[in-house]
Structure 1
Amino acid sequence: MSDIQTTTVCEDGYACTSQVGDFDLQIDATDETGPNPNAALVATYASCFIPAFRVGASQRGEDDLGKLQIDASADLDDDDDLAAISFDLHVEADLDDETFDEIVERAEGICHVHAALKADLQADVSVHGGAF
């Protein structure tokens, strides 16, 4: 049996509903009833990177980061495929740049979405400490 199983249904048009465990996830290629697949992937990547960043910080002895927020942006190529992703990661804690760089490196090794994407599409991460 697989580790992850989902079921995705499209009754008509371009909107799909995926059953993921106990959750329904609405994705729509036309952005009418939910985010499009590229936007959902970028949001999923950010949603994976934040906890990975917290774990990476904890491994380094930084357990009190406070609020974290990623403002993600992505560029599409001429075929509407993802070409570049960037994260502006805002952290309530005000740590030095060297510490943030070390935590980002750890997070990149922990984040499952980061590992799943081809290297030239992994997010370029900028961290902004003392953000809140």
Structure 2
Amino acid sequence: MADIEVTSTSDEGFVTKSRIGEFQLTVDATGEEGPDPNATLAADYASCYIPAFRVGAQQRGHDDLGKVEIDVSAELDEDDDLEEIAFDLKVEADVDDEDLKEIVERAHDICHVDAALRDDLRADVSAEGDAF
């Protein structure tokens, strides 16, 4: 059995509803009925990076960061593929620049989405027609 199981369904058009455990996520390639896939990936990356940042901070003796916020900006190429992602991270706690730099690097090592964004990770796809 897989560690993660998701069922994604598109009844028509470009809207996909994914069942992730007891949760449902709606993604719309057109951005009309939900965020588009690139925006969803950007949000997922930030949602992974923040707890990784907190763990990295704890490993450096900063146990109480207070509020942590990331403004994500992403650039798309001419094919609407993600070309660049940038985080503007703000921390409520007073953490000096040297510690922040170390924590940022450690968070990159801890964040699972960061690790997944490597060139050699692609879905292994098997397909069948007349399935319903």
TM-score (norm 1): 0.88
Higher Rg: 2
TM-score (norm 2): 0.88
Question: Residue in 1 aligned with 2:70?
Answer: 70
1:7 pairs with 2:7: yes
Tell me the secondary structure at the aligned position of residue 115 of structure 2: helix
Question: Residue in 1 aligned with 2:29?
Answer: 29
> What is the identity, as a one-letter code, of the residue corresponding to 1:35?
P
Point out 4+ residue stretches in structure 1 off by more than 2 angstroms: none
User: Quick one: higher RCO (CA 8 Å, sep 6+), 1 or 2?
Assistant: 1
Q: Percent identity?
A: 62
Question: Residue in 1 aligned with 2:110?
Answer: 110
Looking at structure 1, the residues matched to 59 and 95 of structure 2 have their Cα atoms a distance apart, in angstroms, of 15
Question: Residue in 2 aligned with 1:53?
Answer: 53
Looking at structure 2, the residues matched to 118 and 7 of structure 1 have their Cα atoms a distance apart, in angstroms, of 24
1:19 pairs with 2:34: no
Q: Where does the alignment leave 5 or more consecutive residues of structure 2 unmatched?
A: 120-132
Tell me the secondary structure at the aligned position of residue 74 of structure 1: strand
